[in-house]
Structure 1
Amino acid sequence: MATDTQALIQRLMTRGKFRHMQALVRLCDLRSMARAAESMGMTQPGMSQLVAELEKLVGMPLFLRHNRGIEPTELARDLELVARRILTAVQESAETVILRRDHQSTLVRLAATTAGAGAILQEVLPDFARQHRTIQLQLSEVYGLNQEAAIASGEVDLLCCRASEVLPEGWEFLPCKTDSLVVVAASTHPLAGQDHVPPEALREALWLPNHIATVARRRYEEIAESYGFASAPQARVVSRQMLLSWMLLREGTMVTMMPYSVALPWIVTGQLVVLNTGIEVPLDPLGLVWNPKEAQSGTRSFVEYTLSHTDHRSFQ
Structure 2
Amino acid sequence: MTPSPPAASVLYARLVAKGRLRHLQLLVAIAEFGSTKRAAEQVGLSQPAATQALADIEGLLGTALFERHARGMRLTQAGRALIPIAKSAMDALRASADTLHALQDGASGVLRVGAIPAAVTGLLCRRLPALSSRYPSLRIEVQEDRGEHLLPEVSSGRLDLALCRRPAAVPTACRFVPLLADTPWVVASPSHPLAQQPSLTLDDLRAACWLLPTEGKGVRSLFDVMFASFDQRPRLHPISGTSLPLLLELLRREPLLSLVPGSLIAPFCEWGLVTRLAFEVGGDFDGLGALLGPGSDNPLVATFVQEMRGDAA
Partner of 1:36: 39
Deviations 1:102-141 (A, max 9, x none): 2143111211222222211111011112221221112123
- The equivalences for 1:1-316 within 5 A come to 4-163=7-166, 166-169=169-172, 171-225=174-228, 231-279=233-281, 281=283, 283-290=285-292, 294-311=296-313
Contact 1:111–1:140 (CA under 8 A) maintained in structure 2: yes
1:237 deviation in Å?
3.0
Contact 2:154–2:291 (CA under 8 A) maintained in structure 1: no
Q: SS of the counterpart of 2:239?
A: coil
Alpha-carbon distance between aligned partners in 1 of 2:134 and 2:19, rounded to the nearest angstrom: 43
Q: SS of the counterpart of 2:309?
A: helix
Indicate how the Cα distance of structure 1 residues 241 and 16 shifts in structure 2: closer, same or farther if over 3 A, else same.
Answer: farther
Indicate how the Cα distance of structure 1 residues 101 and 229 shifts in structure 2: closer, same or farther if over 3 A, else same.
Answer: farther
Superposition RMSD in Å: 2.6
Contact 1:185–1:192 (CA under 8 A) maintained in structure 2: yes
Alpha-carbon distance between aligned partners in 2 of 1:108 and 1:187, rounded to the nearest angstrom: 39
Paired amino acid for 1:295:
D
Alpha-carbon distance between aligned partners in 2 of 1:246 and 1:295, rounded to the nearest angstrom: 40
Q: Percent identity?
A: 28
Any unmatched runs of 5+ in structure 2?
none
Alpha-carbon distance between aligned partners in 1 of 2:255 and 2:125, rounded to the nearest angstrom: 28
1:292 deviation in Å?
9.4
How many residues align structurally? 310
Paired amino acid for 2:290:
L
1:54 deviation in Å?
1.5
Paired amino acid for 1:212:
E
Alpha-carbon distance between aligned partners in 1 of 2:104 and 2:302, rounded to the nearest angstrom: 21
1:278 deviation in Å?
4.0
Alpha-carbon distance between aligned partners in 1 of 2:232 and 2:127, rounded to the nearest angstrom: 38
TM-score, length basis structure 1? 0.86
1:22 deviation in Å?
1.4
Deviations 1:272-313 (A, max 9, x none): 2111234355633323233698422321221222223432xx
Alpha-carbon distance between aligned partners in 2 of 1:28 and 1:171, rounded to the nearest angstrom: 32
Q: SS of the counterpart of 1:283?
A: coil
TM-score, length basis structure 2? 0.87
